[in-house]
Structure formats: structure tokens, C-alpha cells
Amino acid sequence: MKVGILTGGGDCPGLNAVIRATAKSLLRHGRAEVIGIADGFAGLMEGHTRALDWAAVSGILFSGGTILGTSNRADPLASPASAAHACATARALGLDAIVAIGGNGTMTIANGLAAHGLKFVGVPKTIDNDIEGCARSFGFDTAVATATRALEQVQTTGQSHGRVMIVETMGRYAGWIALEAGIAGAADAILLPEIDFNPAALVRLCQRRERCRAHTVICIAEGAKPAGGALTIERVIQGSPDPVRLGGVAHTLRALLEPHLKSEVRATVLGHVQRGGPPTPYDRILATQFGHQAASLVLQGRFNRMVTLASDTPGSALGDIALSEVADRTRCVPPNHPLVITAREIGVSFGDEAD
């Protein structure tokens, strides 16, 4: 067999660990030639590849980013001609299967190209942890650790000056990073896309803490919005499969709070620092398991499936799910999730308290 590996969408800690595990698992069995496809689906459409032998994928476990490069702007499904061109290129390269490592957009594209006859195995990758059918994706643990450290860091400034400190996390339309980092970082309020917040409730929280001479730390997901309000959009990138780029809601919230408070309000947008750096040990292990499982599906001839983790409980078994059940879907935080309930029970506000 000749198997291609590509990484699509945004970069993510643990991508190299998956590339390494997938390639080594295939090579060790001696039943596959492995090539890397450069820059995601852009490289597939242009035929840019490189050989992935044992040496090429050694020594990359600890590295962030992806040795193959990635792109979140190429969309082979943009037109029938684009899809036909991508399939023709894959066949010209002699590919029997493609392991696509990516998030919602990557799985949607892979599912669409599978309908044109290509054979895919998907590996769920996203710091947002929002892929349908997968309880935990690699990269998420690293992003949570980064956001948690940021929340810890702003605590001292908040304490010293009696300020309201707002920290904005990534996550797009799902609040998993903000939820877990907010709990781990001792945030006083956690604002999620799944639970619209009431600015008046947050004003009351901050005023109450002001009277106690206490600072306030708010962790807000980039997709959070006030009840009846709109998302905060940083920019729109035309031609991208997902053109909307969220960002800046921390500054929007600061503007809502400041007129009603004596305390100074400071906003910090973490942005891409959450995507970078080396993966945590947990993400290295999970990514290695995912890579091995992807290779197993290839060798078994079980195509157009995505590797999954059934539960985020340690030791949970890996499984797989049809790409068609993942495409165009987002896994969001249920408002009654056990972590939401736990946080509420220890006094954390989700900004939805009634007037």
C-alpha cells in the first residue's frame, strides 16, 4: 500500500506525535510505503509530498506544530472541479489511502472526498475539543494547561491592584477550554458560548467582590456572547472553508463592565499561545495512541472512519466512527455537564444569574 498523511486546519500540539506513531506503525509491519502531504489539502491538490521513512519521523515526539505544514484555507469541496482535481492528484500519486489529521473542517472535507472515491482514515485534532463522537482530542490538554497558567499569572496583578482581570480563551463555538481552564485556574466567573451571559449579573458579582476588597477573575471563551447580543468577530477571511474568525470578546466585556465599577478592568486575549509549544505528556500519549489506531484501521482496510475516544476517563478504550457521523457537526458543552454543575456548586458564576 501507499499511504499519505496530511495535517489540516490550525496547528496543534501533538500533531507530530500522531505523524510519528502512524508512520512507524505502518512501516514496522512492512506493508506500506508512507508519504507526507505538505500543507494539508492544499498540498494534496498541488501534489506536494515527501517520503516519511523511519528516520524522517524519529525525534519529533516532543515538537509542537507539524513537520508537514498545514493550511486552513484550501477547500477541495469548493466546486466539483476542485474535488475532481484533488481526487485525480491523489490517484496520480498512487495513494491507496490518506490519513487526515484535523478538526471539524478536515473531517468534513475528508468525508466529502470519500464520496468521490478516495479512502480516508481520520484522526481528531483540535485544541477546542469540539469534534463530534470523540470525548477528548489531543492538543486540548496542552491548551488547557496554557490557559490555566495564564489565569494563575493574572491573579497576582488582580490581587495587587484590586482589579477585574478578564482572560479570553480560544474554542470557537464550544467552551471546553474556558470551562476546564476556568475551574483549574480558580476563575470567579466562566463564560461559555453555550450559556449566554447577563452583563448585569457580572456587574453585581464584581461589585460584591469590590465591597470585600477582593479582585475578580473572569475566564471567557471567544464564542461567548451576552443574552440577545452577537458574537464578537475579529475578521472574515473570504475563500476559507470557515471564514469567520472570532476574537476580542474580552474587550467587549471590559467595555460593558467598566462604566459600572470602581475597579479597573483589564482584558487579556491569549490567542495563538494556546496552540503552540510542546504537547503535554497526556497529549503525547493520546496522540501516539490515535496514530497507532489510525494505522490499524488502514491495515484492516476499514476506511472512511475516524479514530475516537469513548470517554475522557483515564484508560478509556479507543474506537472509531464513520466520517459521515462527524462531518459538519460540533460537540458543545451541555449546560448540565458535570463540570458546569460542580463549578456552580462551589460558587463560580456563569453569568446567567437572573436580575
pLDDT tens column, 255-291: 999 999 999 999 999 988 888 889 999 999 999 999 9
pLDDT class of 231 with cuts at 50, 70, 90: confident
Residue 4 has which C-alpha cell?
A: 499519505
d(CA 70, CA 94): 21
More confident residue, 78 or 113: 113
pLDDT class of 314 with cuts at 50, 70, 90: low
d(CA 108, CA 102): 10
Give yes or no for residue 204 having a pLDDT over 90: yes
Up-side HSE of residue 281: CA atoms within 13 Å toward CB?
0
Percentage of the chain lying above the pLDDT 70 cut: 98
pLDDT class of 13 with cuts at 50, 70, 90: very high
Please give the pLDDT value at position 178. 97
Give yes or no for residue 208 having a pLDDT over 90: yes
d(CA 328, CA 336): 24
Judging by beta carbons within 10 Å of its beta carbon (0-12, 13-18, 19+), is residue 230 exposed, middle or buried? Answer: exposed
172-188: average pLDDT? 96
Q: Is 140 helix (H, G, I), strand (E, B) or coil?
A: helix
Which numeric CATH code is attached to 147-274+335-345? 3.40.50.460
Residue 253 has which C-alpha cell?
A: 466585556
Residues of the chain with CATH 3.40.50.450: 2-139+277-325
Q: Compute φ and ψ for 223, nearest 5 degrees.
A: -95, 5
Tell me the CATH class for 2-139+277-325.
alpha beta
To which residue does cell 458579582 refer?
Answer: 205
pLDDT class of 241 with cuts at 50, 70, 90: low
Please give the pLDDT value at position 30. 79
Q: Is 138 helix (H, G, I), strand (E, B) or coil?
A: strand
Q: What is the DSSP letter of 205?
A: H
pLDDT class of 239 with cuts at 50, 70, 90: low
Comparing 38-42, 68-72, 196-200, the range with the smallest average pLDDT is 68-72
Give yes or no for residue 162 having a pLDDT over 90: no
* Alpha-carbon Rg for the chain in angstroms: 22
Please give the pLDDT value at position 315. 64
Give yes or no for residue 242 having a pLDDT over 90: no
Give yes or no for residue 235 having a pLDDT over 90: no
Please give the pLDDT value at position 313. 66
pLDDT class of 102 with cuts at 50, 70, 90: very high
Q: What is the mean pLDDT of the chain?
A: 92
Burial 264-286 (b: 16+ CB within 10 A, else e): ebbbbbbeeebbeebbbebbbeb
133-157: average pLDDT? 94
Give yes or no for residue 244 having a pLDDT over 80: no
To which residue does cell 468577530 refer?
Answer: 233
Give yes or no for residue 230 having a pLDDT over 90: no
**Which own/partner pairs from 291-294 qualify as long-range (CB within 8 Å, at least 24 positions apart)?**
291/17, 291/18, 291/19, 291/20, 291/21, 291/22, 291/23, 291/25, 291/123, 292/21, 292/22, 292/25, 293/318, 293/320, 294/18, 294/22, 294/99, 294/121, 294/122, 294/123
Per-residue pLDDT tens digits for 46-82: 999 999 999 999 999 999 899 999 887 788 998 999 9
Please give the pLDDT value at position 276. 87
Residues of the chain with CATH 3.40.50.460: 147-274+335-345
Please give the pLDDT value at position 340. 96
Give yes or no for residue 138 having a pLDDT over 70: yes
The residues annotated with a catalytic role in the active site are 128
Whole-model pTM: value is 0.92
To which residue does cell 482584558 refer?
Answer: 267
To which residue does cell 478516495 refer?
Answer: 118
